[in-house]
Amino acid sequence: MDDRDRFFVNWDDSYSVGVPEIDRQHRFLILKIRDLQEAMADGSTGAMLAPLIRNLVTYTRYHFSFEGRLYAQRGYPDIRHHLELHAQMSRQVTKLGIALKDGKLHAGTPVMLFLQRWMVDHILGEDMIAFGIKAPTQPA
């Protein structure tokens, strides 16, 4: 096994929310995380930041719209909270795009931190709860 395969993110079936189209979309995001990890390791981050951010802007609009419609169809009781999380993340992607356009984003680290939070907190947390894969954390 190559070190990149051991240390870089890859899709794992444990990330599945049980909805094939959502899983396909999440696989795309994980592929973007992997692409950024590889670029950071190779020192080629600068060349891929603009296309990555453009992809993220498009992906975010499509994915959050799709997911929101699905939650509405399923009658997800915490939909308002989840849609607000989507709005917050969309604003963050927009800010990354503006920072890149303004010449203030030169390294992949801020983007990687954002993508890691998206994967861990949102996909493996909020989405898993929303799709009934895991129970919400109960307050102590």
How far is the first Cα of the chain from the last one, in angstroms, to the nearest whole number?
Answer: 42
Residues 6+ apart with CB under 8 A from 89: 60, 64, 118, 122
Single pTM value for the model: 0.88
Task: Please answer whether residues 10 and 38 qualify as being in contact, where contact means their C-beta atoms are separated by less than 8 angstroms.
Answer: no
Asked whether the predicted pLDDT for residue 124 surpasses 60, the reply is yes
Q: How confident is the model at residue 2 (pLDDT cuts 50, 70, 90)?
A: low
> What are the pLDDT digits (tens) for 66-96?
999 999 999 999 999 999 999 999 999 999 9
Please name the fold of domain 20-130.
Four Helix Bundle (Hemerythrin (Met), subunit A) (1.20.120)
Domain ranges of the chain: 20-130
> What are the pLDDT digits (tens) for 31-76?
999 999 999 999 888 888 999 999 999 999 999 999 999 999 999 9
Task: Please answer whether residues 82 and 128 qualify as being in contact, where contact means their C-beta atoms are separated by less than 8 angstroms.
Answer: no
